């Protein structure tokens, strides 16, 4: 028996493995259809500097971009930003950039801002953002190198060069925040919205 009451599966405007896992584990049927938007261009054009506002903007634009093509479907857009003070991080392009990011984050506390938005027919229906505070251990050059050797190319797929659900957990000494926020999808408010729309049974 399924909890889903929608006429058609959701669409996730992302290829994030973590977001797919969260939706699947929650028993939500969905198709992944990444939004082909110019994230950096949209961010630059908006002139927004707040990490939360940037994450909200990009989540919103991803959801709307797919929903104008799939007009009868509920489309989930999500985005996550990493901020160390006033500095926003992007995904590292390779090992050298990943090394630099880990050097900068080591021994300090940074913020992960995760945003989710839902659109249908090009209209925004819902949006929410949450934050987690992540304190990374002090790391020696040898420890950074060992981690990067073990993690491989996966470090280029996530901002900050880590995936907490994988080997990245070894880098941290303290985490304050919602598990789902850390993985890039504020799931509890998303589920609350779906219930309000009569799309899930509980």
The candidate with the shortest Cα–Cα distance to 128, out of 71, 39, 63, 84, is 63
pLDDT of residue 49: 87
Taking the C-alpha atoms of residue 66 and residue 37, their distance in angstroms, rounded to an integer, is: 10
Phi/psi for 189 (5° steps) reads -65, -30
Strand partners, 5: none
Taking the C-alpha atoms of residue 105 and residue 90, their distance in angstroms, rounded to an integer, is: 13
Catalytically active residues, by annotation: 79
What single DSSP character describes residue 170?
A: G
- Provide the token pair at 152: 């491989």
What does the pLDDT profile of the chain (202 residues) look like in tens digits? 689 999 999 999 998 999 999 999 999 999 999 998 998 899 889 989 899 999 999 999 999 999 999 999 999 999 999 999 989 998 999 999 999 999 999 999 999 999 999 999 999 999 999 999 999 999 999 999 999 999 999 999 999 999 999 999 999 999 999 999 999 999 999 999 999 999 999 8
pLDDT of residue 21: 96
pLDDT of residue 1: 66
pLDDT of residue 36: 87
The candidate with the shortest Cα–Cα distance to 5, out of 21, 23, 28, 38, is 28
Taking the C-alpha atoms of residue 82 and residue 92, their distance in angstroms, rounded to an integer, is: 12
Kindly report the pTM of this predicted structure: 0.93
Using a 10 angstrom Cβ sphere, with 0-12 exposed, 13-18 middle and 19 or more buried, the burial of residue 85 is exposed
Beta strands in the chain (DSSP E): 10-12, 30-32, 75-84, 87-89, 109-120, 123-136, 172-176
The candidate with the shortest Cα–Cα distance to 18, out of 196, 159, 170, is 159
Taking the C-alpha atoms of residue 34 and residue 12, their distance in angstroms, rounded to an integer, is: 7
For residues 103 and 148, the answer to whether their CB atoms sit within 8 Å is no
């Amino acid at each position: 028996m399924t909890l889903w009451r929608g006429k058609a599966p959701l669409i996730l405007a992302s290829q994030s493995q973590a977001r797919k896992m969260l939706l699947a584990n929650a028993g939500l049927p969905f198709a992944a259809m990444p939004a082909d938007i110019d994230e950096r261009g949209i961010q630059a054009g908006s002139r927004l500097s707040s990490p939360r506002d940037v994450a909200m903007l990009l989540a919103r634009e991803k959801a709307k971009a797919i929903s104008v093509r799939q007009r009868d479907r509920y489309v989930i857009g999500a985005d996550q930003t990493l901020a160390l003070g006033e500095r926003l991080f992007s995904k590292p392009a390779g090992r050298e950039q990943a090394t630099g990011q880990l050097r900068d984050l080591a021994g300090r506390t940074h913020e992960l801002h995760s945003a989710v938005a839902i659109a249908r027919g090009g209209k925004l229906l819902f949006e929410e953002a949450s934050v987690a505070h992540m304190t990374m251990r002090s790391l020696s050059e040898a420890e950074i190198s060992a981690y990067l050797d073990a993690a491989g190319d996966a470090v280029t797929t996530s901002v900050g060069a880590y995936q907490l659900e994988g080997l990245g957990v070894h880098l941290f000494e303290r985490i304050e925040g919602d598990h789902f926020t850390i993985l890039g999808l504020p799931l509890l408010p998303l589920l609350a919205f779906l219930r309000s729309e009569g799309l899930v049974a509980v």
